[in-house]
Structure 1
Amino acid sequence: MSPCLQFRSPARQRGAIGLMAVLTLGMALVFLLIVVDSGRLYLEKRSLQRIADMAALEAATRNGDCAVGASATAYATASVNRNGFTLPDPTRSLAVACGTLSLDANSLRVFVANPSSSEAIRVIVSHSVPQSFAGGVGALFGGAPAGATLNLTATAVAALPPPLASLTLRTTALSIDSSKSATLNALFGGLLGGSLNVSVAGWDGLVNTNIRLLGYLDRLKVDLGLNAAGYNQVLGASVAVSQLIQTAVNVLDPGGTLGATATIVGLQALKVAAGSTTVVLGNLLHVENGSDVSTFATTVSVFNLIEGVVQLANKKNGVVATVPINLVGLAQITARVQVLEPPQLSAIGNPKNAALDPLGPNRIYVKTAQLRTLLSIDLPALDAIAALVNAAADLAGPLTNTLNALLNLDLVAVLNSLTCAIGVPCQTPDVIVLPGPIRLDVALDVASADSYVTAYSCISNTNKTLTTNTSASLVNLKIGRIDAASMFGSNTAPPTVTVQPLKLIDIGIKTCRRFLFVPITCDPRVPGVGGGIDVVADTSVAANTNMPHVYSAPPANSLPDINQPPFYYSFSTSSIVSNLLNTPVNLHVDMYGPSGSLVGGLGAILNSVTSLLVSAINGVLNPLLDSLINTVLISLGVDLNKVDVGANLSCHSGRASLVI
């Protein structure tokens, strides 16, 4: 037998196989030990990370901060102890830091420590554990000594959603009575282009009912069949006004059992009057792009919501509403109203973004409507004013000699002169107050009042501020004769309003005769021979601009979170109303000759009469303007006395989440 064959015999190979088996089993045991040991470290690390995550989430959720009291550390410590990471322990450590989030050069989120900010909270937990089996083997070859420990560390950064602020405008609280109900019916119905008959109780119900914006938009999505759409898509959709009103009904009466209540009946009447006009709800309620569902947790008044929708509709249809105003002692007064620019009732967004550019694309900005109104006052409203009649009578005597000199008229001071007594015709001035059919027009253009966020601070949820800048309305006032047809046109390009003087007094003459004791006989009156006195006003009342205000929490009037009713602050603009109502003091009262040219040189004679005329006109205009402000304008959310701006601020809205 060959020696090679002898060497390869099975008997000779038995030892080699056994050796290989021993080596294989040894290696398997080593690998098993490594796997088990690595698993132990993995589970330790995983447990440590879970503890860090839970601690960071709890500290953030409970609005922890690193200021006085260091509540973030207290919350995190309580969390780790509750989850089996008992402190104090020499083998364990916990570090808590507050700060902000930023982006690095690779657009990755990074934590930036800042003890004065609690935008994000970082928790680092460490735990020393026995060295692994692999480390022990490494010690045999010069590594760490056997019995050493490994320090495992886990880091978690949690943050609540970014701060959220909102501004809301509200109509001055209305006390609804039968007269105001009639005005609201005529006004809202006219703006919608239909007729309206809502009861006093119906209007009162709308004023005193609030609706949650989130619930309203959720229902609107269902009603429009846009279940898969986001809220921004719903706000940007063109929707019929009737549907917007019906959705409010669906929210207030989801079971359809309140149909007989005054509030629901009122909404149904508004729905019928709305017709087919469509609007974009986002023009009334502005929400910053990218906002989450917590943004819509705010509430709005049903009356304010409907009021804004009606004005949106009027901006679209361009209808002029005609509203009769009834005042005791004054008759035939008509107000015409057109919306030039609808209001922005509410705005919601991140105040951090808004503060960077207060009037930029991320602004939190609200405004009242821009309106054009015309008051037409027909007689008898002015002719029964005694002061005017007396002023005209006082003019006859003093003006006679002056007019003789200035106008070269053959006017005499008395009728009992010798020439008149012997039958020679004599001319005598004949002064008439408000000649002919008289209508006094008062045009009022009211520009928007606005308010926007300029700064904020969020040290904690109980120590926060929101700073706004508010400007009141600019008012243009014209008084005289105004053609309504030329005043109202396309509301996208409203025409310039022109005003013509109103003739208050006409100075004519009568030619009269008297023979001794025979009664006087006069020829028909010749008007305008001596000219007359006209009145006109065309003025602007400046707005109160840049009125800053800081909403804060504390004090007692705390700045509420976004899901609570707003805290309203009234910006007083009484000086505007005072200037507006006193504008007739600055009326242009001028005397014109028969040719229509301005007559000068009357001096004290005209001045003494002017004060009487202005006082008389002022006595009529003051209640009219006051009525316009308190009925028509306030019903449309425009109060020249004040601007009510409500504010909300949530330093963190929604639930905390792990961000790093």
Structure 2
Amino acid sequence: MRPLRALAADRRGNMATLTALSAPVALMFAAFAVDAGSLYLERRETQHVADLAAIAAASNPQRALQAALAVLSDNGFGDIAAASGGSGVPAANPDGSRHPLIDVKTGAYVADASVPAGQRFVVGALPANAVRVRIVKRGTRHFGYAFTAEPWISAASTASSQAEAAFSVGSRLARLDGGVLNALLSGLTGSSLSLTLMDYDALAAADVSLLSFLDAARTKLSLTAATYNEVLDTPLTVGDVSTTLLSVGGLSASAKAALGKLSGAGSSRKVPLRELLSLGPSGRLAPATPLPGDPKIGALELVSAMAYLAAANGKHQVAADIGAAVPGLLSARVKLAIGEPPQGSPWFVLEPEGAFVRTAQTRLLVEVEIGGPGGLLGTKVRLPLYLELAMAEARLDRVSCPTGGPDSLKVTVSARPGIAALRIADPDAGALTDFSRAPALAPAKIVTAPLVKVTGAAHVSISNPNWTALHFSRADIQALAVKRVSTTSITGSLTSSLLSNLSLNVDIAGLGIGLPSVLGGTVSGLLSAATPAVDGLLVTVLSTLGVTLGEADVRVHGATCGRSVLVQ
């Protein structure tokens, strides 16, 4: 017993004994610690890859899965399987392997602080501007795999890309007639304009940066706006717009000279720029901040649209005498009534997919006089043309960069022209500005001579209710190309189409005996001979107003696919 008591009391070699006894336990805990640290780093790596995959996928939602798979492959995730859906962790891969799974969902993300974070991304909603990527894989245990199964590691990330485009609906002046433009713009602005054709040519060729225009407006008018929206809230006159354009760089000397003439003209009615331009989310940016896509805008279009908008209060009628400016006509007078523009739909927008632009409802009465043959028919033949134009619409459908780079930029805009009704008739001129009802129409008084009175009526409708997709490439956008949607209802001359449906009636000395064939042929011949001049007048007037009969002209002024950012 003594040796045993001595051994128990002996303290020599106790550390070695304790080490030998505790080493297995310490090694086991060390193994678990190494595994835990390894799993933590693996989770971080997986989350990092999920973030990168979401950013890449959001830059091209139409090919989101392919973009995400490419990122995973580049980061060493081989043999990836695409998950079929669901949010739970799968029990195993379909083939029982350790291959990682990826689940990619596209949808719409709304950056609204009033919406709970978990509800801002809606799977499958349109427009698709965001992508959620979820990666599920088996974690790696270096030591503990013998004691417990390897856990699933899951990482999810949501990225959003705000693709935007600046576009407008209307028509760029394909042909310019200085006299007609002067008369019509004088009527719109309530002033007397005397611009030459060279002045209009210079303005039509001048495209300015929208950013430069807004910054010039803020500086020139001494505005203290903190955002672009505050600049757009500022009421301006046509003269203010012209003065602002004068201070924008890059304009030719002839364009500046023309703007100088316009700066002192124009009505005193002020219109907020917001009714003309909408910047969407970019409106919250501080002035001088670059706008997405760096949109350009035409100087003549901007001035014309502002003049048009200033007159578009639903109660104002514009009258312009432009007969002397049209060869082949004795006289021509235009009466124009413009309805209120649709609420929330300005002429020009810079907004994400789904945005609309619309033209205002317009009524136009063009009264022309043609030289008569004399005799019973007298020396004048009158032709009143009444036009009603419903609003044309354009909708931004898609902005994409298929390769992820700006050179592959593509924009799709769908458009449809407004329904148009053309008549040879005499409408109630006092009711033109009342857009709540149709004006009364009477047969047109074509000839009013002492012994002969000739009346007539004709009606042609133009409609195309279908949306037509227009595709713009990067080259189209840089060239500010105009693309057109038109109806096939009328394929030739507008006036000829009306004259072919014209029904004439004559009253000779109050007898009402009908129109002799000789007089009928004479009147028809006079009207047909004046068709080219009347057609030219209609085209110029409508183009100046930014509308085209039976057509919708769309232009993309700038676009960007946006920069993908993580949002969840």
Seen in structure 2, the aligned counterparts of structure 1 residues 287 and 36 have a Cα distance that, compared at 3 Å, is same
Question: Are 1:169 and 2:169 an aligned pair?
Answer: yes
| Partner deviation per Cα, 1:153-180 (whole Å, 9 max, x = no partner) | 433232322x54665234344344xxx2
Larger Rg: 1 or 2?
1
Q: How does 1:5-404 map to 2 (within 5 A)?
A: 45-61=43-59, 65=63, 70-78=66-74, 80=75, 95-101=101-107, 108-109=119-120, 112=123, 119-124=130-135, 126=137, 128-130=139-141, 152-161=153-162, 163-164=163-164, 167-176=167-176, 180-223=177-220, 229-252=226-249, 261-286=253-278, 297-316=294-313, 318-328=317-327, 330-331=329-330, 333-341=331-339, 345-351=347-353, 354=354, 364-367=356-359, 370-377=362-369, 381-383=370-372, 385=373
Classify the secondary structure of the residue corresponding to 2:547. coil
Question: Are 1:636 and 2:545 an aligned pair?
Answer: yes
Shift of 1:626: 1.7
Question: Aligned partners of 1:546 and 1:190: how far apart in 2?
Answer: 32
Q: For residue 543 of structure 1, what is the aligned residue in structure 2? A: 462
Classify the secondary structure of the residue corresponding to 1:263. helix
Does structure 2 conserve the Cα–Cα contact (< 8 Å) formed by 1:322 and 1:335? yes
Question: Are 1:592 and 2:534 an aligned pair?
Answer: no
Q: For residue 392 of structure 2, what is the aligned residue in structure 1? A: 450
Question: Aligned partners of 1:550 and 1:275: how far apart in 2?
Answer: 38
Does structure 2 conserve the Cα–Cα contact (< 8 Å) formed by 1:297 and 1:563? no
Shift of 1:470: 1.3
Question: Aligned partners of 1:455 and 1:570: how far apart in 2?
Answer: 15
Question: Are 1:534 and 2:453 an aligned pair?
Answer: yes
Does structure 2 conserve the Cα–Cα contact (< 8 Å) formed by 1:366 and 1:452? yes
Shift of 1:231: 4.0
Does structure 1 conserve the Cα–Cα contact (< 8 Å) formed by 2:415 and 2:469? no
Does structure 1 conserve the Cα–Cα contact (< 8 Å) formed by 2:319 and 2:333? no
Q: Which of 434, 437, 450 does residue 378 from structure 2 map onto?
A: 434
Seen in structure 2, the aligned counterparts of structure 1 residues 265 and 550 have a Cα distance that, compared at 3 Å, is same
Question: Aligned partners of 2:116 and 2:326: how far apart in 1?
Answer: 70
Does structure 2 conserve the Cα–Cα contact (< 8 Å) formed by 1:100 and 1:112? yes
Question: Are 1:501 and 2:507 an aligned pair?
Answer: no
Does structure 1 conserve the Cα–Cα contact (< 8 Å) formed by 2:452 and 2:507? yes
| Partner deviation per Cα, 1:454-480 (whole Å, 9 max, x = no partner) | 966979577988463513452343457
Question: Aligned partners of 1:244 and 1:477: how far apart in 2?
Answer: 36
One-letter identity of the residue aligned with 1:251: V
Question: Are 1:657 and 2:565 an aligned pair?
Answer: yes
Does structure 1 conserve the Cα–Cα contact (< 8 Å) formed by 2:59 and 2:561? no
Question: Aligned partners of 1:160 and 1:561: how far apart in 2?
Answer: 23
Shift of 1:261: 0.4
Question: Aligned partners of 1:252 and 1:187: how far apart in 2?
Answer: 28
Q: Percent same amino acid among aligned pairs?
A: 21
Classify the secondary structure of the residue corresponding to 2:467. strand
Q: For residue 483 of structure 2, what is the aligned residue in structure 1? A: 568
Question: Aligned partners of 1:151 and 1:56: how far apart in 2?
Answer: 20
Question: Aligned partners of 1:307 and 1:342: how far apart in 2?
Answer: 16
Seen in structure 2, the aligned counterparts of structure 1 residues 304 and 368 have a Cα distance that, compared at 3 Å, is farther
Classify the secondary structure of the residue corresponding to 1:98. strand
One-letter identity of the residue aligned with 1:205: A
Shift of 1:638: 3.2
Seen in structure 2, the aligned counterparts of structure 1 residues 93 and 211 have a Cα distance that, compared at 3 Å, is farther
Seen in structure 2, the aligned counterparts of structure 1 residues 173 and 275 have a Cα distance that, compared at 3 Å, is closer
Seen in structure 2, the aligned counterparts of structure 1 residues 214 and 376 have a Cα distance that, compared at 3 Å, is same
Classify the secondary structure of the residue corresponding to 2:453. strand
Give the alignment's TM-score, normalised by structure 2.
Answer: 0.71
Give the alignment's TM-score, normalised by structure 1.
Answer: 0.62
One-letter identity of the residue aligned with 2:242: I
Does structure 2 conserve the Cα–Cα contact (< 8 Å) formed by 1:585 and 1:615? no
Does structure 1 conserve the Cα–Cα contact (< 8 Å) formed by 2:165 and 2:350? yes
Question: Aligned partners of 2:218 and 2:158: how far apart in 1?
Answer: 36
Classify the secondary structure of the residue corresponding to 2:371. coil
Question: Aligned partners of 2:364 and 2:247: how far apart in 1?
Answer: 34
Gaps of 5+ in 1: 1-25, 137-143, 355-362, 393-431, 507-531
Q: For residue 12 of structure 2, what is the aligned residue in structure 1? A: none
Seen in structure 2, the aligned counterparts of structure 1 residues 327 and 159 have a Cα distance that, compared at 3 Å, is closer
Question: Aligned partners of 1:544 and 1:64: how far apart in 2?
Answer: 33
**Equivalences, count:** 506
One-letter identity of the residue aligned with 1:580: T
Seen in structure 2, the aligned counterparts of structure 1 residues 212 and 371 have a Cα distance that, compared at 3 Å, is farther
Shift of 1:194: 1.3
Question: Aligned partners of 2:334 and 2:528: how far apart in 1?
Answer: 22
One-letter identity of the residue aligned with 1:346: F
Question: Aligned partners of 2:399 and 2:264: how far apart in 1?
Answer: 46
Seen in structure 2, the aligned counterparts of structure 1 residues 624 and 309 have a Cα distance that, compared at 3 Å, is same
One-letter identity of the residue aligned with 1:630: V
Shift of 1:656: 0.6
Question: Aligned partners of 1:106 and 1:364: how far apart in 2?
Answer: 28
| Partner deviation per Cα, 1:48-99 (whole Å, 9 max, x = no partner) | 43343234324434668256xx343113432x35xxxx8689x996544432
Q: Which of 578, 581, 604 does residue 493 from structure 2 map onto?
A: 578
Seen in structure 2, the aligned counterparts of structure 1 residues 304 and 448 have a Cα distance that, compared at 3 Å, is farther
Q: For residue 4 of structure 1, what is the aligned residue in structure 2? A: none
One-letter identity of the residue aligned with 2:367: L
Shift of 1:40: 7.3
Seen in structure 2, the aligned counterparts of structure 1 residues 325 and 130 have a Cα distance that, compared at 3 Å, is same
Shift of 1:122: 0.9
Shift of 1:308: 0.7
Seen in structure 2, the aligned counterparts of structure 1 residues 42 and 319 have a Cα distance that, compared at 3 Å, is same
Does structure 2 conserve the Cα–Cα contact (< 8 Å) formed by 1:56 and 1:76? no
Seen in structure 2, the aligned counterparts of structure 1 residues 97 and 375 have a Cα distance that, compared at 3 Å, is same
Q: Which of 453, 474, 477 does residue 423 from structure 2 map onto?
A: 477
Classify the secondary structure of the residue corresponding to 2:208. strand
| Partner deviation per Cα, 1:216-241 (whole Å, 9 max, x = no partner) | 34444555566654444544443333
Q: For residue 613 of structure 1, what is the aligned residue in structure 2? A: 522
Does structure 2 conserve the Cα–Cα contact (< 8 Å) formed by 1:478 and 1:537? yes
Classify the secondary structure of the residue corresponding to 1:252. coil
Does structure 2 conserve the Cα–Cα contact (< 8 Å) formed by 1:99 and 1:120? yes
Classify the secondary structure of the residue corresponding to 1:184. helix
Alignment root-mean-square deviation, CA:
4.9
One-letter identity of the residue aligned with 2:322: V
| Partner deviation per Cα, 1:226-265 (whole Å, 9 max, x = no partner) | 6654444544443333222333333335xxxx6x701112
Classify the secondary structure of the residue corresponding to 1:243. helix
Does structure 1 conserve the Cα–Cα contact (< 8 Å) formed by 2:137 and 2:152? yes
Question: Aligned partners of 2:139 and 2:246: how far apart in 1?
Answer: 63
Does structure 2 conserve the Cα–Cα contact (< 8 Å) formed by 1:336 and 1:374? yes
